[in-house]
Structure 1
Amino acid sequence: CLCYLSVQPLHNLRQMDLSYSVNLKELPDLSTAINLRKLILSNCSSLIKLPSCIGNAINLEDLDLNGCSSLVELPSFGDAINLQKLLLRYCSNLVELPSSIGNAINLRELDLYYCSSLIRLPSSIGNAINLLILDLNGCSNLLELPSSIGNAINLQKLDLRRCAKLLELPSSIGNAINLQNLLLDDCSSLLELPSSIGNATNLVYMNLSNCSNLVELPLSIGNLQKLQELILKGCSKLEDLPININLESLDILVLNDCSMLKRFPEISTNVRALYLCGTAIEEVPLSIRSWPRLDELLMSYFDNLVEFPHVLDIITNLDLSGKEIQEVPPLIKRISRLQTLILKGYRKVVSLPQIPDSLKWIDAEDCESLERLDCSFHNPEITLFFGKCFKLNQEARDLIIQTPTKQAVLPGREV
């Protein structure tokens, strides 16, 4: 009973766990709990506010308020100088943090995942110089980050995924010299990255997937020599990438569905995996033959691919989905390292010609005109998808059934 707590001395209390107390609306006076280290109130969905004395808990290290969906505001953190972890996931009615959050100079992790009513952070957040992780994923009403965020020089992970109203990052972000992971997936209003991003030279992972208004990247990304993964999938307005740079550590570059990208990206000769499906790229430079680590190349088929024979020995995944041509190009059998062939929705194709023995995956779902398989499958690890290919003749169906495969899907009708 919390009434009992309110009249007992709490000097020796180190941890209090009231998680899932769904009817709890307020806490008793905890001002005497001067040695409280950990307070867990996760999923106390009726809790509206915390007592002001929380801010005086000078020894409090962990405060877990995840799932306190009725919480509207937080008290002052005036003396909570030892607070290291503040968890506020799914506090969907929380509009702002108190400016006193800056007094929590030992804060390591601030988790605001899906605080969907949060509009901005106080500028005092920059005083949290020991902050390592700032999670704002799903803060769909967040308009901006304060420029003081650049003072958080020990920040290692900044998660801004699904911050759909965020227009830009402050130029001070370049001061976060220890930043390793920058996640901006689905920031659909983001127009650009500041050139100062090139100063964040410890970046290892940067994800800008579905930043549908992003037109270009700054030339300064050429300074990110520790960057290993750059994900730009679905950046549908991205027209070009910087030239005359070479990101030495880049391992994976994903540009799938960057539908306006026409020029082949040459931002790293050390890249191992290059994803280009859904782009408008129709030329491949000869220099790609000398890229020593290139092991995976995913491309969409284009009509003059045959004019670039040097790439036929490099492509591992080829996407022909949605094409209006009437036959699978014969050059398929010349792509010696081909592992994945995507024909999904290839509605006019009638037959599938001979394919390379290297193939491990065929997705021909919804190829509604496909009748014949003029080929054989020799790789026992192959996966075959022929769902909704209702015109497949019996010979083709027998071939699929009799072929040793990892998995096979035949056309069928709902019963």
Structure 2
Amino acid sequence: MLKRIKLCHSRQLVDIQELQNALNVEVLDLQGCTRLQRFIDTSRFHHLRVINLSGCTKIKSFPKVPPNIEELYLKQTGIRSIPSVTLSSKDNSFTYDHGGHKFLDMDDSSESIMVYLENLKVLDLSHCVDLEDIQVIPKNLNKLYLGGTSIQELPSLVHLSELVVLDLENCVQLQKIPLRLSTLTSLTVLNLSGCSELEDIGDLNLPRNLEELYLAGTAIQEVPSSIKYLSELAY
């Protein structure tokens, strides 16, 4: 009946296989466990809502998480790619393929990651310095942190109507971000500070409810005139 497991900053922890039987756990916090090399398969943990592996630098593979996960913190891990996830039409089980760079390959036997992780609200991949590509983003996210990664561009964001925070700070290889940001009707914080290759934001159509806009350390040559329409902008 264990509900919360908090072993954060246990720097000698190398193995958590004994946790395989804690099927009722709701929160699993292993932040800062720098010697932990592998994470258990939690896809059967139907009550699990929060996983925190931030600072687990030896974790190289994206974790197998349950579809009902709400918060996933992977900051400063060694994750290199996002796996494809295929849903079996026979038994509704999920198959992970770490050879790919996206959550899911679309075909007749699979569903989109936007469905697979439809409850995910917070995804933190910041400072995963080896992460170069993310192609599909869960549709119900509230907060997305990709700062300090090696991504060069983002996929379409038009479906992220609930996104409140988009943090891309210090994505030094990011050269462009998707147009039509105005479709992000809930976005209040956009952080592009330190995106030193980003030269132009004039065509982004920034959402009018934006409250905070960070552009320090970018390569922009002028602030777009459309900024005058951001009536909620405070910073």
Partner of 1:65: 7
1:168 pairs with 2:133: yes
How far off is 1:220 after superposition?
A: 4.5
- Check 1:253–1:266 CA distance in 2 against 1; reply closer, same or farther (3 A cut): farther
Whichever residue aligns with residue 143 of structure 1, its letter is R
1:136 pairs with 2:74: yes
CA–CA distance in 2 between the matches of 1:182 and 1:210?
Answer: 14
* Matching residue within 16, 36, 51 for 1:74: 16
CA contact (8 A) 1:243 1:266 kept: no
Partner of 2:92: none
How far off is 1:263 after superposition?
A: 3.9
Partner of 1:113: 54
Two-structure CA RMSD over aligned residues (Å): 2.2
1:94 pairs with 2:55: no
Greater Rg by CA = 1
Other structure's SS at 1:110 match? strand
CA–CA distance in 2 between the matches of 1:76 and 1:255?
Answer: 46
- Check 1:80–1:222 CA distance in 2 against 1; reply closer, same or farther (3 A cut): same
CA–CA distance in 2 between the matches of 1:130 and 1:117?
Answer: 25
* Matching residue within 205, 218, 228 for 1:245: 205
* Matching residue within 83, 90, 110 for 1:146: 83
Q: Deviations over 1:326-358 (max 9, x none)?
A: xxxxxxxxxxxxxxxxxxxxxxxxxxxxxxxxx
* Matching residue within 213, 223, 229 for 1:264: 223
How far off is 1:232 after superposition?
A: 0.5
CA contact (8 A) 2:121 2:141 kept: yes
Whichever residue aligns with residue 262 of structure 1, its letter is Q
Partner of 2:94: none
How far off is 1:190 after superposition?
A: 1.5
CA–CA distance in 1 between the matches of 2:81 and 2:225?
Answer: 32
Which segment drifts farther, 229-238 or 78-87? 78-87
CA contact (8 A) 1:250 1:270 kept: no
Q: Deviations over 1:128-177 (max 9, x none)?
A: 122111111221x2212334463221111111221111112232x1xx22
* Matching residue within 166, 189, 196 for 1:229: 189
How far off is 1:268 after superposition?
A: 5.1
Alignment gaps of 5+ in structure 2 = 86-102, 104-112
Other structure's SS at 1:253 match? strand
How far off is 1:248 after superposition?
A: 2.2
- Check 1:247–1:117 CA distance in 2 against 1; reply closer, same or farther (3 A cut): same
CA–CA distance in 2 between the matches of 1:294 and 1:183?
Answer: 21
How far off is 1:217 after superposition?
A: 0.3
Alignment of 1:32-51 (within 5 A): none
Identity, % of aligned positions: 29
* Matching residue within 132, 135, 139 for 1:177: 139
CA contact (8 A) 2:199 2:221 kept: yes
Q: Work out which structure has the larger RCO, using CA pairs closer than 8 Å and 6 or more positions apart in sequence.
A: 2
CA contact (8 A) 1:81 1:105 kept: yes
Query: TM-score normalized by structure 2?
Result: 0.79
More helix per residue = 1
* Matching residue within 167, 172, 176 for 1:207: 167
How far off is 1:221 after superposition?
A: 2.9
The number of residues matched between the two structures is: 207
Other structure's SS at 1:198 match? coil
Q: Deviations over 1:273-319 (max 9, x none)?
A: xxxxxxxxxxxxxxxxxxx55666xxxxxxxxxxxxxxxxxxxxxxx
Other structure's SS at 2:5 match? strand
CA–CA distance in 2 between the matches of 1:168 and 1:266?
Answer: 31
Other structure's SS at 1:219 match? coil
Alignment of 1:312-351 (within 5 A): none
CA contact (8 A) 1:113 1:138 kept: yes
CA–CA distance in 2 between the matches of 1:295 and 1:105?
Answer: 41
Partner of 1:300: none
Other structure's SS at 2:195 match? coil
Q: Deviations over 1:227-274 (max 9, x none)?
A: 00101011000021262624121111111110x212423565443xxx
Other structure's SS at 2:144 match? strand
Alignment gaps of 5+ in structure 1 = 1-58, 272-291, 297-415
